[in-house]
Amino acid sequence: MENFLRPIYQERASNQNTMGITMIEKTTQNSSLTDNFDIIILIIVTDVDEDWQVKHYEFEGKTAALHIVSEDILMSWIDTSGYRTAVEWIIEGQIIFDRNEYMNHLKTQLREFPNTKRDLRKAIEFGKLIKNYSGARNLYEMGDFKDAHSEIMDSLLHLARLAVIEKGYYPEVTVWSQVKKIDLEVYKLYEEFIESNEEISKKVELMILAMEYVISLRARVSANHLLTIMQAKDSAWSFAELTNEDTRPYMLDLAAMISYLTDKEIIEIVLEPTKGIDVYQRKYKIKQ
């Protein structure tokens, strides 16, 4: 199969902007890892006009997808879970071109998963977890049990990814297979929820209670990226000050995170007078 595709990627390998090329083949009939193509070729490049190009090919009844990705976009995917499958392509793929050991260094970096990158990913997943969990709780209180059920499923997925990151791994597409091996407590929550024969209202109620406990135990560690930012100064932060470049990857979930951390007394509210009579601006600081 590679013989048919070699002329396509060899041209790219001769380009000085190409840092590395990796290839991964489908191993099962229906493969989410390869988007159901027989083969994926990932080419990482620098200094390009188009950040991401995708081309599809067919030959002798086989299919292939060629992804040409800028280094900047790839790093953003890795840091923010923008495209989880691409991370697996790098980890699991066969290196077929490597300029100055670029691909080998990248594989090593992904396996080591440095704490700084891990903290950011935990904050991203924690923000989504809190948003879905809070939504489930509110929908339950309104009697919208089916919608609450959907929110619980989404929050369990983010909890699973968070559990994987805590153990020092990047979450895979088949995240529940990962969780079953490394965090049985979280896996059992998921298993109990999907296999429960309780009425949907009772099922959601029990899971909200169980998840509240599990989330509260993880809150401070999961929010470490945000709390580290807040430690940079002694005075309180306005919400506008916290919505900066550092928190951009989880900015849409930041309000939900702050609300939760305030409820758990990890963050405290500081009221600052404004020009309005009896109107105060809410600011936030880490509770001592």
pLDDT tens by residue, 8-44: 778 788 888 999 999 998 876 656 778 888 889 999 9
Specify whether 78 is located in the same domain as 136.
no
Q: What is the pLDDT of residue 163?
A: 94
Residue at which a domain ends, from 82, 112, 142: 112
Q: What is the pLDDT of residue 91?
A: 86
Specify whether 79 is located in the same domain as 140.
no
Residue reference for tokens 């998963």:
113
Q: What is the pLDDT of residue 214?
A: 94
- CATH number of the domain to which 19 belongs: 3.30.460.10
Specify whether 267 is located in the same domain as 136.
yes
Specify whether 39 is located in the same domain as 150.
no
Specify whether 149 is located in the same domain as 260.
yes
Specify whether 87 is located in the same domain as 206.
no
Specify whether 124 is located in the same domain as 260.
yes
Q: What is the pLDDT of residue 12?
A: 81
Specify whether 129 is located in the same domain as 252.
yes
Q: What is the pLDDT of residue 139?
A: 96
**Taking each helix axis from N to C terminus, what angle separates 145-166 and 175-182, rounded to the nearest 10 degrees?**
60
Specify whether 7 is located in the same domain as 97.
yes
DSSP labels, 125-155: HHHHHHHHHHHHHHHHHTT-HHHHHHHHHHH
Question: What's the rounded Cα separation, in Å, for the pair 204 and 200?
Answer: 6
Q: What is the pLDDT of residue 2?
A: 60
Question: Domain range spanning residue 10?
Answer: 2-112
Question: What's the rounded Cα separation, in Å, for the pair 228 and 251?
Answer: 16
Q: How many domains does the chain have?
A: 2
Specify whether 34 is located in the same domain as 13.
yes
* 36: CB partners within 8 A, 6+ apart: 26, 30
- CATH number of the domain to which 264 belongs: 1.20.120.330
Question: What's the rounded Cα separation, in Å, for the pair 171 and 161?
Answer: 5
Q: Rg of the Cα trace of the chain? A: 22
Specify whether 129 is located in the same domain as 146.
yes
Residue at which a domain ends, from 97, 112, 127: 112
Residue at which a domain ends, from 62, 88, 112: 112
Which residue stretches of the chain have pLDDT < 50?
Answer: none
276 CB-contact burial (10 Å; exposed 0-12 / middle 13-18 / buried 19+) = exposed
Phi, psi (5° rounding) for residue 223? -95, 15
Specify whether 154 is located in the same domain as 202.
yes
